[in-house]
Structure 1
C-alpha cells in the first residue's frame, strides 16, 4: 500500500513532467476527431479527480455508500474543455491529491477494505479505488505520449 500511496502522491509531478516544454500548438493538437488533445486530457484528469476524491472520502466515512460516476465524454463535449484554464485545473489536481495525503498516510488496514457500491451493484474496496486513481493517471500519461508522437509524425509529413 505504501508504494501505491507514493505513486498517488506523484501524480501531479508525473503530469507536469509529461508536458514539460510543450508548445500551445502541441498541447492543443487533436490527433483525430474522436481523440482528445493533451490540454483536454489534463482537464479530464482533473474532472475525474474531483469526482473520485469525493468517492474515496465517501468510502472511508460512510457505510457502503453508493458511488456515482460521470459521463466523461459528455463533460468533455459540453463543458468547453478547450476554453478552460489548464493551469487552474492542474493546480486543482495538485490540491486534490495533496488534500488526501494526510488521510492516506494514516489509513488502517481495515479502512483499506471498506467498500463502496456502484448502482450496478459492483463493489470496490478503498484500496481498489485508490489503485484505479493511480492507473487512471498512468493510462492518461500513455495517452499523452501517443498524442505527442502523433503531433511529431504530423509535423514530419507537412
Structure 2
C-alpha cells in the first residue's frame, strides 16, 4: 500500500505566513520572545538525534534535518543583516539569495551542526537585544524586497521570522515523526 501525503501540508505544516494587518505591541512582544527562545527549542529537538537521523528528509524531495538547520543559520544571518541595513539606511533594497542552492553547498550538507547552532544562538541573542532597543520611529522603517516587489516593514519582518523558525522546527519534528520514510524513493 502506497502512502499518499498532502505535499502542501508537509511543506507548510503550520500553514503559510500570514501577517496581521494591524500589528499590535503584544504581537511584537510575543514574536520577540519567540525569537529569543528559538535556539533553545531547536537544540532540545536536535539533542537526541543520531547522525543518521539528521539525514532524514521532512517531506519527499525536501531538505534533510541538517540542511534545515544550516538553512536557519543562513536565513537568520540574512534577516539580521536586513534589520541593520534598514535601521541605518533609507528603505534599502535588500539582496535575495538562492536558498535552495545554498543548501547544496558543502557547508549546507555538513554533518556537524555545531557552527550553525552557534551562529543561530549568537544571532538570536543580538537580534533580541537590538529589537528591544528600537524606538517607535525605527519600528516603522522598511526595506524593499526585489523578489516580492514591495516594501516590508520591520514589524512584519519580525512576524515573518518568528513564523520562519516555528515553520522549520515543525519540519524537523515532521521528519522525526516519519522516521526517515521520506528518504525512500518511490
Q: TM-score, normalised by structure 2?
A: 0.76
CA distance in 1, matches of 2:68, 2:98: 14
**In the alignment, is residue 2 of structure 1 matched against residue 29 of structure 2?**
yes
Equivalences for 1:89-104 in 2 at 5 Å? 89-104=116-131
Aligned with 1:137 (options 165, 170, 180): 165
Report the equivalent of 1:51: 78
Task: Provide the secondary structure at the position in 1 that maps to 2:52.
Answer: helix
Residue 58 of structure 2 contacts residue 171 of structure 2 at CA under 8 Å; is this kept in 1?
Answer: no
> Displacement, 1:82?
2.1
CA distance in 2, matches of 1:91, 1:3: 23
CA distance in 1, matches of 2:137, 2:81: 19
- Structure 1: segments with no counterpart, 5+ residues: none
Report the equivalent of 2:7: none
Residue 96 of structure 2 contacts residue 146 of structure 2 at CA under 8 Å; is this kept in 1?
Answer: no
Task: Provide the secondary structure at the position in 1 that maps to 2:143.
Answer: strand
Residue 45 of structure 1 contacts residue 137 of structure 1 at CA under 8 Å; is this kept in 2?
Answer: yes
Report the equivalent of 1:105: 132
Report runs of 4+ in structure 1 exceeding 4 Å deviation: none
Task: Provide the secondary structure at the position in 2 that maps to 1:124.
Answer: strand
Name whichever structure is richer in helix by fraction: 1
CA distance in 1, matches of 2:181, 2:60: 17
Report the equivalent of 1:22: 49
CA distance in 1, matches of 2:151, 2:111: 34
CA distance in 1, matches of 2:152, 2:58: 34
- Structure 2: segments with no counterpart, 5+ residues: 1-27
- RMSD in angstroms over aligned alpha carbons? 1.9
